[in-house]
Chain A
Amino acid sequence: MLEARNISLSLGGRQILAEVDLRLEPGLVTSIMGPNGAGKTSLLRILSGEWTASEGSVTLNGQPLAQFPVRRLGQLRAYLHQESSLSFAFTVLEVVLLGRSPHMRGGERPEDYEAARKAVRQVDLEDRENDLYTSLSGGEKQRVHLARVLAQLDEPAIGEARYLFLDEPTNNLDLSHQRTIYRIVREMAGAGLAVGMVVHDLNQAIQASDRVVILNLGRIALAGTPEEIVASPELEGIFGVPLRRVEIPGARCPYLVIDAGN
């Protein structure tokens, strides 16, 4: 389990996060949502160890995050940034193989290729694995990086709980690939990974999550199951729009639609 206690962060005198408590548990998908500037990405960076909180502590599998060697962290958690770019002409497969770095000593082993190819298939890029990354569209590039982080965590022998952090994973993606992402996220949780993701699209993410945390002005405004969140009357205040809850047959909980007033 990854546990953040009483996290606060100030940058240049500005309070970004205040007294945030959060847990990521194996097998569960936790979505972090909130208005722009609520501190979602900052929180994800702190949970993953990329940034250090001004106050509070993060423990990973019971041990303070700061005590882990960087390489070990690379084996236990992967992070998909909102935007990664690469101006060098690697092939798709070569970029995904970079995800195997924390598991390699020296060169790639057959199992590294296996994990990379499996991840490439998962994001529907198998027919482009030898194409140059630089020749891909924005959405395809985003999927290559997703495959890279999936390959990074595809090491069941590690024997400890693993964590997948996704910052706006559906950015740049068309509807069908957005669906693919949520399917993959569920599969990863099903395989025992703890997933923490920052998402904008409330409805899709809520359907795919086990827990939802809503941040507002750096504090946790709401936390609970998707059903509890959707039902909360506070949502309107947080996002600053009137909302209507629409029942969709077969959906897990009602969809949120902006109420146009008529």
Chain B
Amino acid sequence: MRGEADRAGNGRRGRWLSAPLLAALVVLGLISLGMGPLRTSPLVVGQVLLEEASLGHWPGEVDPRVATVVMQIRLPRILVAMLVGASLATAGACLQGLFRNPLADPGLIGVSSGGAIGSILAISATGVFLPAGGLLAQLQVPIWAMLGAMATTFAVYHVARIAGKTHVSTLLLAGIAMNALAGAIVGAVLYLSDNDSLRRFTFWTLGSLHTTTWQSLGLMAPFIIVPLLILPRYRNALNAFLLGEAEAYHLGFNTQRTKRMIIGLCALMVGVTVSFCGLIGFVGLVVPHLVRMIWGPDFRRLIPASALLGSILVLAADLLSRTVNAPSEIPIGVVTSLIGAPFFLYLIQRRKRQLNV
């Protein structure tokens, strides 16, 4: 019976719908702009946006208080949510390709933890690693996060590989080890922290977008947008990687360079995301899975679709996190984990046989 059902659905791919996905993202963004402790109607949101776009030449009257909330608090936060979603989902998709493993997720396999270790060490030792001022000082936490994420990805890749393949079990075990290490370091730093830093650090473990400003958006954006633009160049190589590293080589791809680029770019995105927004779990696992269910595993669709759907998911999760219990916020990582963890259990249940390595 099951076999019949499988056959019936075999090879059927949904039509590629980038325009509706993009439209959904924009609509959700506009709704988010109006939601919050200060409820703003879509009409007013539109007026504020037009007022800004026309550089104050818009004839309508806009309450400056509303304009400040929409432009200075909500808009940057919404853009960051989109960037974070795109970065985590795309990194998840690409790492799954590289590891040839549909259960690889930046959070589960320890890439995010590496980023957290890097950023926490940098924060708690500000001025020790890089005693610089200005832009470099603001970037030192993201840079250390990125280095941490990169180091863990390479470490996990090497630990989990057996004769050219990564097995689900070794991969997840390596991830558990990395996450435990990060947990221990975060715990130690927390224990030694004063009250103020304690609050700052707690947010790493749960994830939050509430500290977002235009400035942090500006600092994050290049480190996410540039990898997002470069990664699609490796779509054919990633498809070939799904067959195996040796197979990809025989199909004419430079496997060493591909591997380094994918790991580097993913670590860049995830590291920067973690350093600014903390640990937001399961986005990289859930989104590529949904995309593959609808459009199949081809990276030519997987990468753009994951980026779009990831943006939508994180934006929706952020909307939930700041409206469910308004005016106080639930950390966004709590929301994504509440969605993602049951999904992960479902995947394990479905793939049980493969996990038995």
Contacts and interface: CB of A to CB of B under 8 A. Distances in A.
Contact of B292 (A70, A74, A88, A91): A88
B106 to A, nearest CB: 19
Contact of A84 (B236, B243, B292): B243
B250 A91 contact: no
B252 A131 contact: no
Contacts of A102: 251-252
Contacts of A89: 292, 296-297
A85 interface: yes
Interface in A48-66: 48, 50
B16 interface: no
B10 interface: yes
A74 B251 contact: yes
Interface string A73-117: 111011101001111111111110011011010010000000000
A90 B244 contact: no
Interface in B54-74: none
A132 interface: yes
Q: Which of A88, A98, A132, A135 has the most CB of B within 10 A?
A: A88
A87 to B, nearest CB: 6
A14 interface: no
B244 A84 contact: yes
Interface in A197-239: none
A92 to B, nearest CB: 8
Interface string B244-261: 101101111110000000
B209 to A, nearest CB: 32
B322 interface: no
B298 interface: yes
A144 to B, nearest CB: 11
Q: Which of B243, B253, B254, B296 has the most CB of A within 10 A?
A: B243
Contacts, number: 84
B240 interface: yes
B342 interface: no
B189 interface: no
A39 to B, nearest CB: 17
Given A130-B10, A130-B11, A84 B242 contact: no
B7 interface: yes
A47 to B, nearest CB: 12
Nearest to B9: A132
Contacts of B7: 131, 135
A101 B11 contact: no
B101 interface: yes
B345 to A, nearest CB: 19
Interface string A125-166: 000001110010000000000000000100000000000000
Interface in B321-357: 354
Contacts of A71: 252-253
A134 B165 CA distance: 17
B10 A132 contact: yes
A71 B248 CA distance: 10
Contacts of B250: 48, 50, 73-74, 77-79
Given A84-B244, A88-B102, A70 B249 contact: yes
A88 B10 CA distance: 13
A93 B296 CA distance: 13
Contacts of A74: 250-253
A90 B246 contact: no
19 contacts: A48-B250, A71-B253, A73-B250, A75-B252, A79-B247, A81-B244, A84-B243, A85-B244, A90-B242, A91-B10, A92-B11, A98-B243, A101-B251, A101-B252, A102-B252, A107-B300, A132-B10, A132-B11, A135-B3
